[in-house]
Amino acid sequence: MGVVGSLLTSPFCPKPAHCPTWTKLGYMCGIVGYVGKKDTIAVLMGGLKRQEYRGYDSAGIAILTEQGTIETAKKAGKLQALVDLLQTSPVSPGHTGIGHTRWATHGGPTDVNAHPHLGDGGKLALIHNGIIENFAEIKAELLAKGYEFESETDTAVAAVMLGDVYAQVGDLREAMRLVVNRLEGAFTLLAVHTDAPHLIVAARHNSPLVIGLGEGENFLGSDVAAFVEYTQRAAAVGQNQVVAITPDAVEVTDFDGNPVAIEEYEIAWDASASDKGGWSSFMAKEITENPDAVANTVRGRVVDGLVEVPELTELGDDILNGISRIILVACGTASYAGMVGAYAIEQWARIPVEVQLSHEFRYRDPVITPETLVISISQSGETMDTLMAVKYAREQGARTISVCNTQGATIPRESDAVVYTHAGPEVAVASTKAFVAQITALYLIGLHIARSKKTVDEKELRRLATDLQALPAKVTKVLETGEKIAQLAKWMSDTPSVLFLGRHVGYPIALEGALKLKELAYIHAEGFAAGELKHGPIALIDHGQPVFVIVPSPRGSALIHSKVVSNIQEIRARGARVIAIAEQGDAAVLPYADEVIQIPLADPMFEPILAVVPLQIFAMELADAKGLDVDQPRNLAKSVTVE
Ligand code: AGP
């Protein structure tokens, strides 16, 4: 067997498409590629800036210079470290280049491990998002052939392997195709070679990749944010496809080399939407965009006073009316949106609804029938746990709908229907406006099914639709409490722990309030269902312990309201410092709470959208008071493509 053959044949997994490892993959990084006449370094650095939310351990670029060489610059740390490096050690200009921002897995976040990695004696550069699971086996083969590795990364192995195969076949597209058929795991790869000065070859398997289409120039990115500054025209790259871009052409094939037609689409937002726009942080900007996130998600989905979601209409009333059980799958914040949605959909549509964390779902061998509807919720549409849950649900015969904020992402592509949330790009790593948009979308789904099944009478459906449309103005009103909350956060900036209590739809909001605080301020925070208090958590209450209580509307269940007021009295009696989030005019809490944050009146089912906003502001302000980076909290990345 020749050199190429020996590197390209694996006894375990002949083709990634058939790999069992499709189920346990990935990580997250930001990728950008450019071919065209613009200042390539500026295009790459702009694309990395807009994708820094995907990873910020290190960053790097490779340029095919006008002298026909490859020059790289790479640096551990946030993107600014690379910006500084480029000032002291500039890279020569060129018209083809690739850039990468990293969230480290194999090998720590060092300069050496930063991408790009080189192959073919420095004539080839490669960047990678994902995990190559069989890299050790390939590395051993390459070491045996005399190659040496400075970096510990799996990416360095892929770069050397691609260089080795290219040296055999002399064509970068073909070399990429041969290499990806040997790799196992998750990868988006982008490569350039000095022999083809106006070409970038890329491949996608289990990691995101989109093409930006320009005039006399083309782009690649993990996300359209990579190139939205220059073009609104994009095309998604499907699973197991190889892409080659030059300034004037885009060619896509599958991993067997068969041509694939691209599906072009228009990006629904412009570059300014992903800029800070004068705000101190993306998070501050995105919290103020909460009202728009709700309004834009509702827009076009209330027709003649009644909720009608066109995407569900396309799915067909017969299918919806035949659903006997709904399972919502999601992770983190999205799962809390799911919990709110479960209360609403079950109450309105009279279908049993449960919420399962995506990563628990398929390992419990769930009972799924063709009458089961699985609704996935994901801002990014790339969360690997949720993607795998959707694929599993489909394999088991369930109908699948995704609620997603990212056009053309993988999860919607794997689902029978998608209800997009129109929150606009969310750049801060911790989710805020996408969360309220997710809840809004779930309300719409619940009301649509209730209408189709006639489980809520038309008058009530009209009232709920009107109340839903009135929510954005009410969210704007809640934003006015921001200064008071900032003050509270400053007072509490040295507290070691904060607790959150809620009941019914307020319970997931308590969980979300705690998660936001953990993520942003690195403080111990826990959310509880208020009814659980006496079953254990009340032991945590000591003198001065701050407790946020989301008080349910007395206009909903008077019983639940009075029980939560009793809970407030119980914790107050034990020294808790109570901050109540209660609707305007709720006099019952006033005597017992240390602070009351008032929210406008809405249907009790819609209160989560209003109640969560003060908690988002609180977490942001407390983190800010501690001098922390609210947009890029430690150890996190926005798109969690790790299972
Ligand atoms: C939100 O603040 C979190 N960083 C995280 O919990 C997130 O909501 C979760 O990882 C799900 O992401 P997705 O919506 O993109 O699937």
Index of the ligand 1 atom closest to the CA of residue 636: 4
DSSP code, position 259: B
Index of the ligand 1 atom closest to the CA of residue 438: 14
At 114-128, the pLDDT tens digits run 999 999 999 999 999
Ligand 1 centroid distance, CA of 421 (Å):
14
Q: What is d(CA 439, CA 63) in angstroms, rounded to the nearest whole number?
A: 44
Q: What is d(CA 285, CA 545) in angstroms, rounded to the nearest whole number?
A: 30
Question: In this structure, are residues 494 and 524 in contact, taking their beta carbons and an 8 Å threshold?
Answer: no
Q: Give Cα 61 to chain centroid, integer Å.
A: 24
The question of whether 38 is a catalytic residue gets the answer no
Phi and psi at 73, nearest 5°, equal: -140, 130
Confidence of residue 24 (pLDDT cuts 50, 70, 90): very low
Question: Which region holds residue 170: left if phi is over 0, alpha if psi is between -120 and 50, else beta?
Answer: left
The question of whether 638 is a catalytic residue gets the answer yes
Ligand 1 centroid distance, CA of 426 (Å):
11
Q: Give Cα 1 to chain centroid, integer Å.
A: 44
Question: In this structure, are residues 169 and 4 in contact, taking their beta carbons and an 8 Å threshold?
Answer: yes
- The protein residue with its alpha carbon nearest to ligand 1, atom 8, reads 333
**Which of 331, 393, 396, 340 has its CA nearest to residue 359?**
331
pTM comes to: 0.80
DSSP H or E stretch at residue 185: strand 185-193
Ligand 1 centroid distance, CA of 638 (Å):
7
At 619-643, the pLDDT tens digits run 999 999 999 999 988 888 777 766 6
The pair of three-digit structure tokens given for residue 350, joined into one six-digit string: 């009279």
Instruction: Render 421-446 in DSSP notation, one character per residue.
Output: -------SSS-SHHHHHHHHHHHHHH
Give me the pLDDT at residue 2, please.
36
Average pLDDT of the segment spanning 308-331:
92
Average pLDDT of the segment spanning 406-419:
91
- Biggest CA pair distance of the chain: 83
Q: What is d(CA 255, CA 487) in angstroms, rounded to the nearest whole number?
A: 57
Q: What is d(CA 633, CA 52) in angstroms, rounded to the nearest whole number?
A: 12
Pocket of ligand 1, beta carbon within 6 A: 331-334, 378-380, 383, 386, 429-431, 519, 636, 640
Active site residue: 13, 19, 29, 331, which one?
A: 29
**Which of 539, 304, 299 has its CA nearest to residue 440?**
299
Q: Which of 126-130, 187-191, 401-405, 555-559 has the lowest mean pLDDT?
A: 555-559
Tell how strand 94-102 and strand 30-35 pair up. antiparallel
Q: What is d(CA 165, CA 8) in angstroms, rounded to the nearest whole number?
A: 9
- The protein residue with its alpha carbon nearest to ligand 1, atom 6, reads 332
Angle between helical axes of 332-349 and 506-521 (0-180°, round to 10): 170
- The protein residue with its alpha carbon nearest to ligand 1, atom 9, reads 332
Please state the three-class secondary structure of 226-263 as a single string: HCCCCCCEEEECCCCEEEEECCCCEEEEECCCCECCCC
Phi and psi at 49, nearest 5°, equal: -60, -45
Exposure b/e, 569-579, CB count within 10 A at least 16 = b = ebbbeeebbbb
Give me the pLDDT at residue 189, please.
97
Average pLDDT of the segment spanning 90-103:
94
Index of the ligand 1 atom closest to the CA of residue 638: 4
The pair of three-digit structure tokens given for residue 363, joined into one six-digit string: 């390992």
Ligand 1 centroid distance, CA of 622 (Å):
20
If one counts every other C-beta atom within 10 angstroms of the C-beta of residue 455, the result is 15
- Residue 300, Cβ density class (10 Å: 0-12 exposed, 13-18 middle, ≥19 buried): exposed
- The protein residue with its alpha carbon nearest to ligand 1, atom 13, reads 378
Q: What is d(CA 393, CA 372) in angstroms, rounded to the nearest whole number?
A: 9
Confidence of residue 23 (pLDDT cuts 50, 70, 90): very low
Index of the ligand 1 atom closest to the CA of residue 380: 15
At 40-89, the pLDDT tens digits run 999 999 999 988 878 778 899 999 999 999 999 999 998 999 999 999 99
